[in-house]
Structures are given as C-alpha cells and as structure tokens.
Structure 1
Amino acid sequence: MSENTLYLIQSDYAATASILDQLAQIHSPDDSVVLMGESLLYVEHDFLQQLPRVYLLENDAQILVSPLPEHATLLNYAQFADLCLAFKRCISMK
C-alpha cells in the first residue's frame, strides 16, 4: 500500500481551475491524480501536464475528451477501485 496520496478531482468545470491551484500547492512528486466528471475538461492544464501519474475514468473520457492526451492513463471502474485500494490516503477535492 502506497504512503503517497491519491487525489480525486471531482469538481465542476467552474471550480476546477481553483482546485488545481490548490492541488499544485500540496501535491508531492509521487502522488497520483484522478480527474472525474467535468474536471476532465482541464486535462490539458499546465500543472497536470507535468505530473507523472494522471488518470481519467474511461467512461467520462469517452464523452468529454477527444483526442486523449498522452500524459493521462485511462481507467475502467475495476482499475479505479484497485487504484484507490492501493493508497492509504485518498483525498476528494470538489
């Protein structure tokens, strides 16, 4: 189990820029980020492009993101559950 943090970004479109600014202040290099729902529309944000582990939910990405960015990894729901269980800390930011 990872001692790092998994950040679940679940904010609506209008709040996502502010959430990403907050995340930039607290994120550690080995942390991971999952974008969910409307927050996927910010997948090309400069901060997210420099992170080594950015994940998108497959169902959300099919609807909201095209083309898929190279710096992000798609997760189905089973993979998402496994990822959450691999971390001691999961923080939801809305």
Structure 2
Amino acid sequence: MMKSTPEKIQLIADACLNHLIAEPELLGQFMTETGTTPDEMRSGDPEVLAAGLLDFFAQNESALLSMCANARLTPEEVMRAFYSQNGYDG
C-alpha cells in the first residue's frame, strides 16, 4: 500500500471537515464520539484534528461513503490516509 503524503492527508481531512459542516447531525455525532469541542475544531492542532476526522470517517462507513461521493474521493484514498496517519506502512 502506498503511503499518503502529508498534503494528501490534509486535503482529505479538509474534505471530512467540510462534510461535517454541511451535516450538523453528523457534526454533533463526531463531537460526541471524539470529545472534540467547537473551540478545538477552530483553533486546535491541525494534525490532531485531522487524525480525529480520519478516525471518525474510517469507523463510520455510511459517513465515509457519503463524504467520498461529495468530495470526489474514493474510500480507498481515505483509508490510505487513515493508515498513513496512524503509522501503517503496508
């Protein structure tokens, strides 16, 4: 499996965040499951937020598929970014 670059991971994390912003119910679910506050989302560490976003979507297939369709990403791209973010080299 080819690792995702930091730039690709950030691009995918941005797509995840944009999807959550467009889906308030899903955003609430994300915040509840991850314990992320609105302040942390606005001013927190981008790498930590990206990791939380990728983890959330990796474990929520329906949200993953919906986000991928809207962002024109494949689930494989997102999962590759998730595994790269978590130190999996293949």
Task: Tell me if TM exceeds 0.5.
Answer: no
- Normalized per residue, the structure richer in strand is 1
- TM (normalized to structure 1)? 0.31
- TM (normalized to structure 2)? 0.32
- Normalized per residue, the structure richer in helix is 2
* Higher relative contact order, chain-length normalized (CA < 8 Å, sep 6+): 2
